[in-house]
């Protein structure tokens, strides 16, 4: 349980990349490191109409009753620090 004024940091969320806006499909790339080689693969799946980006997750935190303290994005990884007011 988070106490009043307590903070926590959400990170390591890799934001998906849309393959085709018209079809609403996103891709999740995977890089598998084997002893002698690296294999690049991935998969795609349907995604909701809402773009799930940093603003989406910040709003989700606010809707859940948290105050967003800091937010930033590096490449496709987001960092979202929130606190319980």
pLDDT given for residue 23 in this prediction: 66
Q: Order of strands across the sheet with 17-20?
A: 17-20, 25-33, 38-46
Taking the C-alpha atoms of residue 31 and residue 42, their distance in angstroms, rounded to an integer, is 8
pLDDT given for residue 3 in this prediction: 76
Q: What is the pTM of this model?
A: 0.57
Q: Give domain limits for the chain.
A: 1-16+52-85, 17-48
Average pLDDT over residues 11-25: 66
Nearest alpha-carbon partner for 13 in 83, 72, 85: 72
22-77 confidence digits (pLDDT tens): 667 777 778 888 899 999 887 777 766 667 788 888 998 999 999 999 999 888 78
Q: Tokens 């929130």: give the residue.
A: 82
């Amino acid at each position: 349980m988070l106490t009043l004024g307590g903070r926590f940091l959400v990170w390591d969320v890799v934001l998906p990349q849309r393959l085709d806006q018209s079809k609403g499909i996103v891709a999740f790339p995977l890089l598998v490191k084997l002893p002698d080689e690296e294999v690049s693969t991935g998969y795609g799946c349907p995604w909701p109409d809402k773009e799930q980006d940093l603003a989406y997750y910040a709003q989700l935190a606010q809707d859940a009753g948290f105050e967003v303290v800091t937010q930033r994005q590096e490449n496709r990884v987001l960092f979202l620090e929130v606190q319980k007011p």
